Amino acid sequence: MKTPERAAFDALPHPTIVVVGGGFAGLELIKRLSGKPFKVILLDKNNYHCFQPLLYQVATGSLGADNIAHPFRRTVGPMPNVIFRMAEVLRIDALNNQVHTDHGSFTYDHLVLATGTVTNFFGNQRIAREAMQLKSINQALDIRSDFLQEFEAAIYLEDEHAQRQRLNFVIVGGGPSGVELAGALAEIRKTILKHEYREVESQRMQIHLVDSGNEVLGNFSPKSRAAALKFLHELGVHVKLNMLVTDYDGDTVTFKDGSTMPSTTVIWTAGVKGAPVPGLEPALEERPARLRTDAFNRVEGTANIYALGDLALDRSDPLWPKGHPQVAPAAIQQAAHLALNLLRKPGEQWVPFKYRDKGSMATIGRYKAVVDLGRLKFGGPIAWFLWLFVHLMSIVGFRSRVMVLTHWAWKYLSWKNTIRLIIRPYVRKVDMVGGESGG
């Protein structure tokens, strides 16, 4: 029997919008449509929204997983015209206006796809199998367990080479995620490894940041790129530019020039590709796996299907001929804009989307951040405080905000990352210390 709330939802005389994906775009859209004349069904394979920009802090033990995740049900609870279903969408049947999921099918009048991206290994299957990723909370927790397990394992090793191999961390990709992760690991060496793993010579831990291009933070201004490089050097990160990783077998990284490097931990942040749901292949741009849309976010060749955020490729804006950047503000702005268009009266002209670039920022370590804000480019402590403030205010949920502030206050006053627990060990295929291992 239906609850009165469910019966009231079903009885709403409004068109149904199915929103697939509750990331930055999906969440913004449902907020904008809350209380409006639509029946909204949010589908996501997880039951929480993940604040991806702070994943690296979960990976390095500064924040807990629940600090950057917010349950969808807490968001939709007070929204009478919005319901949430935890379901993975497997296929779209555009002909019959249906999405098929692992929990049955849903019929829509409008479909909005906001499934984001997955890590792009550019077809290298072995690297995909062996390297670690930083796209989800599970993966961030794997990295946290992994580096702590490596520290624990290194203590048992007598042989210097074996110890160095375990403590050689290779991060592939010099974008914001790679830079932030490298900086955070370098700070862990300085604080945690040095003081709490006293039996290990801390300098045996090396952090290598590898990029196939000739700079880090390629999308930032030259001034910020130079400042980031300087900060990385100050923290003792080895930045290896113009180095293309061609293989990784779990023990050794191989580069295009034939050189190799021993490492049991490679973290791949070198690229993403769209996570489209099968069924709309004619609109799929193969290389970045994004769905082509027009300026109204409508998927090419469809009348009532829209794509938002990282998944969408809108080349109609002359300022962004290759599509909008795959960043949170673009996803949020597109969702807010689509909501406005969907709410227009019948016959009213839809307005094309225009992206407002609000700038970029990345943090490399304590007091070390870079910010590009229009003509204003700066780095150092002010940039770092601005980064902290912007990220704190962007986190979904008051509780999470308070928790993050508390963790940061503790970390930056005590010089210690707070969460250094191996709760869910990272399982390696073959453990070099003890053979087959669960860590």
Give the nearest distance from C-beta 190 to ligand FAD in angstroms.
22
- Restricted to residues 168-187, the positions that interact with ligand FAD (CB under 6 A) are 176-177
Q: Based on the shown chain and the rule CB under 6 A, indicate whether residue 323 belongs to the binding site for ligand FAD.
A: no
C-beta of 44 vs 142, nearer to ligand FAD: 44
Q: Cβ neighbours of residue 228 under 8 Å, at least 6 residues apart?
A: 179, 216, 217, 220, 362, 364, 370, 379
Among 23, 323, 379, 397, binds ligand FAD (CB under 6 A): 23
C-beta of 82 vs 261, nearer to ligand FAD: 82
Residue 348's SS3 state is: coil
> What is the spatial distance between Cα 43 and Cα 84, in angstroms, rounded to a whole number?
6
Position closest to ligand FAD via CB: 23
Q: Based on the shown chain and the rule CB under 6 A, indicate whether residue 274 belongs to the binding site for ligand FAD.
A: no
Of 148, 169, 107, 436, the C-alpha closest to 304 is 107
Q: Cβ neighbours of residue 384 under 8 Å, at least 6 residues apart?
A: 363, 366, 367, 368, 369
Distances from the Cα of 101 to the Cαs of 89, 92, 98, 111, 407, in angstroms?
Answer: 4, 9, 10, 14, 38
- Restricted to residues 207-246, the positions that interact with ligand FAD (CB under 6 A) are none
Helices (H) and strands (E) in the chain, counts: 13, 26
Count, residues near ligand FAD per rule CB under 6 A: 34
Helix (H) or strand (E) holding 314: strand 312-314
Print the binding letters for residues 108-147 with ligand FAD: x by CB under 6 A, - otherwise. ------xxx-----------------xx------------
Q: Using N-to-C axis directions, what is the helix angle for 398-414 and 381-394, rounded to 10°?
A: 150
Give the nearest distance from C-beta 326 to ligand FAD in angstroms.
5
Give the nearest distance from C-beta 150 to ligand FAD in angstroms.
21
Among 9, 18, 21, 69, binds ligand FAD (CB under 6 A): 21
Print the binding letters for residues 300-319 with ligand FAD: x by CB under 6 A, - otherwise. ---------xxx--------
C-beta of 329 vs 380, nearer to ligand FAD: 329
Relative to beta strand 260-262, strand 252-255 is antiparallel
Print the binding letters for residues 358-397 with ligand FAD: x by CB under 6 A, - otherwise. ----------------------------------------
C-beta of 26 vs 323, nearer to ligand FAD: 26
Give the nearest distance from C-beta 268 to ligand FAD in angstroms.
11
> What is the spatial distance between Cα 409 and Cα 258, in angstroms, rounded to a whole number?
45
Among 33, 41, 44, 370, binds ligand FAD (CB under 6 A): 44
> What is the spatial distance between Cα 4 and Cα 131, in angstroms, rounded to a whole number?
49
Q: How far apart are the first and last CA of the chain?
A: 47
Which residues of the shown chain bind ligand FAD in the complex (CB under 6 A)?
20-26, 43-46, 52-53, 55-56, 88-89, 114-116, 134-135, 176-177, 275, 277, 309-311, 326-329, 331
